[in-house]
Chains A and B, each alone.
Chain A
Amino acid sequence: MSSTETITRAEVCAVACAEIFSGAGEIMASPMSPMSIIGARLAKLTTEPDLLLSDGEALLFADTPPLGGKAPIEGWIPFRRVFDVVASGRRHVVMGANQIDRFGNQNLSAFGPLQRPTRQMFGVRGAPGNTVNHATSYWVSRHTSRVFTDQVDIVAGVGYDKVDPANPAFRFHNLHRVVSNLGVFDFAGPGHTMRARSLHPGVTAAEVAENTSFEIHGLADAEETRLPTAEELRLIRDVLDPKNIRDTEVPS
């Protein structure tokens, strides 16, 4: 059995990322970074066996390989088909973010003015389509007030204050969770603002407040994020991430 006495912050984050998919059922899980990939695969190996997972390129895995590993496949999902899945809604994506505001608007495009940015990143990628079509969560490996900002420079991922309640085209918008190296959050605060669900063991409310530009609802009352079970630790350490890549995202 794996030791539960030396549980790292990264391992707590991996389980919090897995819980993003609790109850997801038979949909495509699309995690976009090592930690959220570990999380999605952990969910598939524990409570969510019907999740569909791809190799990040064009193949659907039949089995659940370690990070960077290969596995037998069960199907084909080239990029053009991913857009069909997006439009179908049968998907939950976990994207990264350069900025997130209190209503869940997200930016991964660029900083500064639209037509003459001060720093160029990816452009909006699939963020606008993801956020209006299906469940979207975010993983932030370094929770800072630069990321959790009052106003994002460019809205790539749509936040709750951009939803037009009179237009049913927005009815599938659903920002499910934000998991960071400090805690687990959602947008169930007043007016769909960011709310603290739990803080990771050892993290204080003051530390989160210091590293967030806006007020997070329920911060003082947040529970402690649960620890991994012995079985989850075994899967993380021995099966999914034996090379300990998770520590490069969240140092212990």
Chain B
Amino acid sequence: MRDKRMSLDEVVGELRSGMTIGLGGWGSRRKPMALVRAILRSDLTDLTVVSYGGPDLGLLCSAGKVRKAYYGFVSLDSAPFYDPWFAHARTSGALVAREMDEGMLKCGLEAAAARLPFLPIRAGLGSDVPNFWDGEMRTVASPYPDADGRTETLMAMPALNLDAALVHLNIGDRHGNAAYTGVDPYFDDVYCLAAERRYVSVERIVETDELVKTVPLQSLLLNRMMVDGVVEAPNGAHFTLAGDSYGRDEKFQKHYVQSAKTPEAWQQFVDTYLAVSEDEYQAAVREFAQEAKK
């Protein structure tokens, strides 16, 4: 069986500017942050991003990499909740927003996973969601009238077909079998099913027999058909939470938000945490935690 192990930068090397990229996780929860940081180190640009948005989308916006965003929300999940770089991109008109109901995002990924052009959904009707889509979103009338002979007209949620999906899970093998530990799988399997190229970073790579002995069957979210590349990235979701592996680094997330407030503070944040390798990032983050304890 194929050995799919890759480095973070090798994954990004397989991406191209202009691609539509789905980012797994949810808000500030189990985001593929090491892969996002690798994109920040690259010259990739003009990206369309599909995400239950958090600091993943924020960091990509900070570097001007996002042309268009499909999202149900953008949240840091703890105070001050609103991501500063996403807010900046929006208020400066730097990106095209395809905002939608949270359930519509799941629906659009499921349509793509099943190779359907759309799926009907109630959510979105009567709201401003279609007005965010500049005619890209239509309704569909049921061919089956209801008991009173009336026709139900629903949103025709278009398939959210992805060029690539980036997700982070807790444990996997070198072939792409991977599992989450903790309370929620989020939608990482659906992102992979909706994408042409699929990359998973994991806290640790183990042999297959260890993987399946470590977690219950129901946690084995990804199988080999759903993955093209596996990256071992310990602490790779930092500063978002990662199920049983670790909680959110609230202090560092606050530092991220504070740093976005002035160009000087942001330049310092970039120099310390972003214009460096993943190993240097993790070392700087450990140092930050030590300082914060004092």
Interface set of A (CB-CB < 8 Å, partner B): 57-59, 76, 78-80, 83, 86-87, 109-110, 112, 114-129, 131-133, 154-159, 162-164, 166-170, 172-173
Q: Is the CB of A162 within 8 A of B127?
A: yes
Q: Which residue of B lies closest to A121 (CB)?
A: B82
Q: Is the CB of B106 within 8 A of A80?
A: yes
Specify which of A119, A159, A168 lies most central, judged by the most chain B CB atoms within 10 Å of its CB: A168
A83 to B124, CA, bound (A): 13
A117 to B91, CA, bound (A): 5
Rounded to whole Å, the gap between the CB of B106 and the closest CB of chain A is 6
Q: Is the CB of B153 within 8 A of A167?
A: yes
Q: Is the CB of A124 within 8 A of B101?
A: yes
Q: Is the CB of A124 within 8 A of B153?
A: no
Tell whether A127 pairs with B93 under 8 Å between CB atoms, given A80-B185, A162-B126, A167-B153. Answer: no
Q: Is the CB of A155 within 8 A of B72?
A: no
CB proximity to A under 8 Å, residues B102-142: 102-104, 106, 121-129, 131-132
A129 to B104, CA, bound (A): 8
Q: Which residues of B contact A114 (CB under 8 A)?
A: 97, 99, 128, 131-132
Tell whether A57 pairs with B183 under 8 Å between CB atoms, given A124-B73, A124-B129, A126-B72. Answer: yes
CB of B244 closer than 8 Å to a CB of A = no
Q: Is the CB of A115 within 8 A of B93?
A: yes
A157 to B125, CA, bound (A): 10
CB of B196 closer than 8 Å to a CB of A = no
Enumerate 16 A-B pairs (CB-CB under 8 Å) in ascending A order: A78-B186, A83-B102, A110-B90, A117-B91, A118-B91, A126-B123, A128-B104, A128-B125, A128-B127, A131-B126, A132-B123, A155-B128, A156-B128, A163-B126, A164-B126, A168-B146
Rounded to whole Å, the gap between the CB of A55 and the closest CB of chain B is 9
Interface set of B (CB-CB < 8 Å, partner A): 26, 53, 71-75, 81-82, 86-87, 90-93, 96-97, 99-104, 106, 121-129, 131-132, 146, 148, 150-154, 183-187
Q: Which residues of A contact B153 (CB under 8 A)?
A: 164, 167, 169
A sample of 18 more A-B contacts (CB under 8 A), given A128-B124, A167-B152, is A78-B186, A83-B106, A86-B103, A109-B99, A114-B131, A115-B93, A122-B75, A124-B100, A126-B72, A128-B104, A129-B123, A132-B123, A132-B124, A133-B123, A169-B122, A169-B154, A170-B125, A170-B126
Q: Which residues of B contact A164 (CB under 8 A)?
A: 125-126, 153
Q: Is the CB of A168 within 8 A of B150?
A: yes
Q: Which residue of B lies closest to A58 (CB)?
A: B183
A170 to B125, CA, bound (A): 8
Rounded to whole Å, the gap between the CB of A28 and the closest CB of chain B is 15
A128 to B93, CA, bound (A): 24
* 8 Å CB contact of B73 from A80, A122, A132, A157: A122
A133 to B153, CA, bound (A): 14
Interchain Cβ contacts within 8 Å, total number: 150
A78 to B102, CA, bound (A): 14
* 8 Å CB contact of A123 from B72, B121, B186: B72
Specify which of B97, B104, B106, B126 lies most central, judged by the most chain A CB atoms within 10 Å of its CB: B126
Q: Is the CB of A87 within 8 A of B99?
A: no
Q: Is the CB of B101 within 8 A of A87?
A: no
Q: Which residues of B contact A76 (CB under 8 A)?
A: 183
A128 to B101, CA, bound (A): 6
Q: Is the CB of A126 within 8 A of B75?
A: no
A124 to B73, CA, bound (A): 6
Q: Which residues of B contact A119 (CB under 8 A)?
A: 87, 91
Q: Which residues of B contact A173 (CB under 8 A)?
A: 126
Q: Which residues of B contact A129 (CB under 8 A)?
A: 101-104, 121-124
* 8 Å CB contact of B103 from A115, A126, A168: A126
Tell whether A126 pairs with B183 under 8 Å between CB atoms, given A110-B90, A155-B126, A168-B146. Answer: no
Rounded to whole Å, the gap between the CB of B29 and the closest CB of chain A is 9
Q: Is the CB of B126 within 8 A of A80?
A: no
Tell whether A124 pairs with B128 under 8 Å between CB atoms, given A57-B183, A79-B184, A116-B91. Answer: yes
Tell whether A115 pairs with B91 under 8 Å between CB atoms, given A164-B126, A169-B154. Answer: no
Q: Is the CB of B87 within 8 A of A120?
A: yes
Q: Is the CB of A127 within 8 A of B183?
A: no
Q: Is the CB of B82 within 8 A of A124?
A: no
A143 to B91, CA, bound (A): 27
Q: Which residues of B contact A120 (CB under 8 A)?
A: 74, 82, 86-87, 90-91
A114 to B69, CA, bound (A): 13
Q: Which residues of B contact A157 (CB under 8 A)?
A: 127
Tell whether A155 pairs with B185 under 8 Å between CB atoms, given A115-B96, A166-B150. Answer: no
Q: Which residue of B lies closest to A162 (CB)?
A: B126
Q: Which residues of B contact A109 (CB under 8 A)?
A: 99, 128
Q: Which residues of A contact B72 (CB under 8 A)?
A: 123-126
Q: Which residues of B contact A118 (CB under 8 A)?
A: 91
